[in-house]
Amino acid sequence: MRRNLTGLLSIMLIPLLAAGCAGVDYVSVAHSGLKVAGKAAEASRPISDSEEYYVGRAVAARVLSTYPLYQDQKLTLYVNEVGQAVARKSSRPNPFKGYHFAVLDTTEVNAFACPGGIIFVTRGLLKTCDNEDELAAALAHEVAHVANKDGINSISKARWTEVLTTAGTESARQFAGAAGSLVTLFEGSIDDVFKTIVVNGYSRSAEAAADQDAVKTLPRAGYDPGALAALLTKMAAQEKGGGGIYKTHPPTSERLSKAKAQAGEAPPSKEMAVRSKRYQSQKL
């Protein structure tokens, strides 16, 4: 549990980047994170894991400029424990710098997976969950988005190629008088991801894949594979007229039918009551 605190403290520092999204911050993040291309041809390569991480930090800063963090260390550490449990059994257990989980202080029902492994869940979603298994299902879905690189893949390929090309040119000049274009391009990349995860949502196929991966991950992590369907059942009752996750995701009824079919029938776990009690003890 204490090992998670170090990563969590790094998340607490992210709001420093969010203050006005100042250009100097983006230059610092971009310059430290980018593996600068020496040749134009290299600028067409895929985004590396370390670059994904730095983009994700900037996206997280943008999220935190919209939603405040919930200042409850006990709850945050608990969410991290559950998140790490499912992340270890996911198809991508070790992204660059690992996974970090935090709670947003809003009643909106939502969750956000920033590229590289920073994942936010709202108090509204936590209150929708009845037990730890349903929380694990929500976090496993978000981990799947990171594992499938859905966020980073939302960046325009043309824009990222230009970022790498410009970084290579400006690095050679030691950023002398030409940093502005890199800042603009990097901000554009952040906008691509932020608009996808917060405003527009992923494609139906990306959401379906994340649900499918979550149902597979849950039993590997010791949780009920039917927990996602149970959570979606509650969300379906709240969907009419709702914003947040309901605005950016496919119809809940569509997701629910697929999750039920995939999970099938599983016998109740003896540990379910213990996990439920542990969940109910948290301050939501």
Report pLDDT digits (tens) over 217-267: 999 999 999 999 999 999 888 866 665 566 666 778 888 889 999 988 777
C-alpha span between 112 and 5 (Å, rounded):
20
For the chain, percent of residues with pLDDT exceeding 70: 71
Q: Is 98 left (phi over 0), alpha (psi -120 to 50) or beta?
A: left
**The residue type at 124:** G
pLDDT of residue 243: 59
**The residue type at 235:** M
Would the CA dihedral through 123, 242, 144, 222 be positive or negative? positive
Q: Where are the domains of the chain?
A: 2-153+197-280
User: For all residues of the chain together, what is the average pLDDT?
Assistant: 80
The more confident residue out of 154 and 244 is 154
> With bands split at pLDDT 50, 70 and 90, how would you rate the model's confidence at 184?
low
